[in-house]
Amino acid sequence: MRVLNRSALICSLMLLVGCAATGQVENMIVNQAPDNTFDSALKEQVEVATVQGGSGTNPLWLSQISNSNFQKAITESLSIHGLLANNGRFNLKVTLLNADQPMVGLDFKVVTSVNYTVVDNNTNKVLFDETIKAAHKAFFGDEFDRVTRLKIANEGSGKNNIKTFLEQLSKLDVNSGQLFLTN
């Protein structure tokens, strides 16, 4: 009888708390117009070669960003900005290094660290190799359910990371292979 009561209590708590869900593609896509323009050599020439380091979500644990969903978000973002190619001059390799997530709290701040490497297929020269950290905070008022709040923070951090990558990529002078950072 005790085992049955404990099982019922655990099931009730799981229903109350909810199950973790992976970050959704549509919430990580950067679809707003860029502030800067991209080097003309990048137009329709960036191919997403690999996306790795993400992980699937265990419904009983924490929300994560999967490789496939992050790749779809990056691919769609590049397409929206006129950079995507199926067989382009430039290969983009993406590695999700870390997603720093809180375990408890009312407001959840997630910081993603993602390495982006752009290689010129013509010369095998690395034009861009940067690790970008980006954060997003989901507040208690955004969503009562902590599982959904963490998912919102994950998605926002992923989106902000892609946005920062696009901003940095817009500062790349392909001919010189230089990244010109402005303050």
Domains identified in the chain and CATH numbers: 20-175 (3.40.50.10610)
CB 109 within 8 A of CB 136: yes
pTM above 0.85, yes or no: no
The pLDDT tens digits for 116-170 are 999 999 999 999 999 999 999 988 877 667 788 888 999 999 999 999 999 999 9
Angstrom distance (rounded) from CA 152 to CA 22: 10
Give which of 123, 73, 121, 119 is closest to 96, Cα–Cα.
73
- Compute CA 175 distance to the chain's CA centroid, rounded to the nearest angstrom: 28
Angstrom distance (rounded) from CA 96 to CA 113: 6
Largest CA distance in the chain: 74
